[in-house]
Each structure stands twice: as C-alpha cells, then as structure tokens.
Amino acid sequence: MSTELEALLKEKELDLKILTAALLFVCLTNSTAWTQSGTPSSPREIAAYGGPDRERLLFEGAKREGKLVWYTTLAAVQNKQIAATFEAKYPGVRVEAYRAGSSALVQRLINEAQARRHIADAIETTLPGLLTFRDNQLLLPYASPYLAAFPEESREKAAGNLVYWTIDRESYIGFAYNKNLLSAGEVPENFDGLLKPALRDKLGLAGDDTGARSIGAMIKVKGEEFVRKLKGQNIKAYPMAGSALTQLVASGEVPASPSQFYSATHVAAKKGAPVVWVPMNINVVGAGGAAVYANAQRPHAALLFTNFLLSPEGQKLLEDLDFGSAGKDYGFRRWYPEKEGTLAQYEQALERWHKLLQEITFK
C-alpha cells in the first residue's frame, strides 16, 4: 500500500471518528436537556407527564392553542354550565361543545377519524362509546394527579400507569315510588321485595335500555327464573326512557318502578313531587367517562379540560348537576354492566334482557 493511500485512509478514519463523537455529543446534550427541563413536547409525552408543574404547562399550552373542541353526550344545559365554569377558571381557553346522542357521537368521530378530519379534542360520553373508541385506537392514554381519588373499577387502564378514561359522572338505577300510593310496608328493600303481593298491578318498567339493564341487574343477583316470576305481578312496560317514566310516578299514574334513576327522582322531589328513591341489591350505573381524542389538535387544552372534570371542583360541579361521583361511597352497591366482558358480549346480553323484559310485561 502506497504512503499516499495510507494517509488518505487515516484522514477518512479521523473524519469518521470526529463525526461519531459529534453525534454522540448531540444525543447526550438532548438527553441531558430533557432530564433537566422535564418539559414534554409530543401529545403522548404531554398526556403522560406527571411533574408538579403539570397544570401550569397544560394551561400555558392551552392558552397558546386558544380553545378545545369537546364531544359530549351531556345535555346542552349541563355542558354549557361546565364549559362556562372551565372558561372562568382558565381565561383564554374557549370550549366549543358538540352534543349528540351516544350512537350519533360514536359514528361521527369514527367517520371523522377515517377521513382524517381531526376535529375533537376532549370526549365525555357513556361506556359503550368509550369502549368503541378504545377498540378503534382513538383514545390517548393520560395521567392525572386526581386518578388516585377514583376507585380502580372506574379507571380504564392503559400501559404505563395511564388510563384511557376515568368515570367522571354516574347515574344510578334503583326503585322509586309515589309515597302517596305505597305504604311503608309495601316498599321493597331488595329485589325479593318486588314479589310482594301488595305490589301486584302497581309496577311499571321503562321499555328502553334503562328497563332492560334493570332486568340484567336482577338476573345477576337472582337469576332468570326469579325475573320470570315477576310476570305474575302484572308489570306494565312503558315505551319511554326511565327519566320520562319518573313523571308518571310523580303524577301517580304509575305507583312505582324498579327502573328509576336517582337523579331524575331527586330532581322531581326537589320540585315537590311525592317521590322517593330506594337502592336495590345492586344498582345499575349509567356512567360517563372523561377521555382525550388520540389525534387531538389541541392536546394541552384537552388534557387541561379532562383534568378539570376529575378535579374536586369539577366533581362538585357534576354533583350539583345531580350526578353521582365514582369517588364517593353512597352506601349502596354499584354495577357497571358494560364492564362484564367485551362490548360485543354486553350488546348480546342487552338484547337478551330486552327480550325477557317483553316476556314478563304487558303493554
């Protein structure tokens, strides 16, 4: 090998060593900077960040983003109050709420995701919708300093101690009656009490999912044969939601119903209606969860808003709107039927409960 060639190879080897050292320096510098600053940058890093300055970072980022788009199934009057309270707490961050029923909301978000039209930032809806979004990889796992205040069953776990959603509001289905039409001795204390002879011809069931889910709770505790015995009580099915049936109980048209929401009964009682709500062996929970869209264009604002819903202030606001909190013990047993298996299994069970409801009632 010539002297000139040897010199050229040594020169190239030196250049390669210098380049390698430079690249190593850049990597180490970036790593050190991340360790020292701890400032997340990507949406996933922001969602997982748990430093003591988390809220400050989220608020600063949210102010830069200016707003968030919130997809929710809450009633318009409820989401307006929540949005107004959030905007007052975090000035400079506006909430644009899109409200729809659960099925319509699910279809809209899936269609938008498939078209890569990423409009939503934060999501608050019921469990079937959230399960659908999770299964379609449309949720961003997140952390929150408030997660420890919620029981494990109310948090949908993701990898790395993160969650896909947290149940932020609950509605409880139990037994409600008109106290002018039922005596104290006629009021059931559990499902067995529904078979009291004094309740024959006095019971009504909501004909929608509320009534079917009530049947599911009875099956879980007492079995299908018990539910079939209820046919002898001449229970009438009403083609309406449980909340609408509350008005019939309040007016006295229906003396009592085992498919009644505590929230609707409580609201009617506050207005002077002679109605009382009683928990059963287990009480179906109509739950709503707070989540973040996987492709949120404003991740700081979405996470800040989700954090607000889970905070003591947000939970107090939801309780003022007559929802229950998953983080509180109200002295009765809860049941989340959607969490018994997969979404498909829940939908199959719901169909069976509807059929059994039709079998034991008359219209």
- Three state DSSP letters for the chain: CCHHHHHHHHHHHHHHHHHHHHHHHHHHHHHHHHHHHCCCCCHHHHHHCCCCCHHHHHHHHHHHHCEEEEEECCCHHHHHHHHHHHHHHCCCCEEEEEECCHHHHHHHHHHHHHCCCCCCCEEEEEHHHHHHHHHCCCECCECCCCHHHCCHHHEEECHHHCEEEEEEEEEEEEEEEECCCCCHHHCCCCHHHHHCHHHCCCEEEECCHHHHHHHHHHHHHHCHHHHHHHHHHCEEEECCCHHHHHHHHHHCCCCEEEEEEHHHHHHHHHCCCCEEEECCCCEEEEEEEEEEECCCCCHHHHHHHHHHHHCHHHHHHHHHCCCECCCCCCCCCEECHHHHCCHHHHHHHHHHHHHHHHHHEEC
Q: Fold for 171-283+345-362, please state it.
A: D-Maltodextrin-Binding Protein; domain 2 (3.40.190)
Q: Which of 16-25, 81-90, 98-107 is least confident?
A: 16-25
Residue with tokens 């659960």: 102
- Specify whether the CB–CB gap between 256 and 182 falls below 8 A: yes
pLDDT at 40: 79
Of 36, 274, 272, residue with least CA distance to 176: 274
Q: How far apart are the first and last CA of the chain?
A: 102
- Report domain extents, the chain: 43-170+286-329, 171-283+345-362
pLDDT tens-place string over residues 41-81? 799 999 999 999 999 999 999 999 999 999 999 999 999 99
- Domain 43-170+286-329 in CATH 3.40.190.10: yes
| Confidence grade of residue 241 (pLDDT, cut at 50, 70, 90) | confident
Mean pLDDT of the region 98-102: 94
d(CA 258, CA 247): 14
d(CA 335, CA 284): 5
Is the pLDDT score of 4 beyond 50?
no
Spell out the long-range contacts of 181-185 with Cβ–Cβ below 8 A and sequence spacing 24 or more.
181/252, 181/255, 181/256, 182/255, 182/256
What's the chain's average pLDDT? 90
pLDDT tens-place string over residues 267-322? 999 999 999 999 999 999 999 999 999 999 999 999 999 999 999 999 999 999 99
| Confidence grade of residue 340 (pLDDT, cut at 50, 70, 90) | confident
Residues written for the chain: 363
pLDDT at 20: 42
Mean pLDDT of the region 83-103: 97
The answer to whether 43-170+286-329 and 171-283+345-362 have equal CATH topology is yes
| pTM across the whole model | 0.84
Residue with tokens 């009592």: 256
Is the pLDDT score of 31 beyond 60?
no
d(CA 338, CA 354): 15
Structure tokens at 240: 């309406």
> How buried is residue 137: exposed, middle or buried, by Cβ count under 10 Å (0-12/13-18/19+)?
exposed
d(CA 15, CA 174): 77
Residue with tokens 């069970």: 349
Sign of CA dihedral 49, 53, 55, 61: negative
- Specify whether the CB–CB gap between 172 and 178 falls below 8 A: no
Mean pLDDT of the region 232-250: 93
d(CA 357, CA 278): 21
Strand bridging mode 283-292 / 334-335: parallel
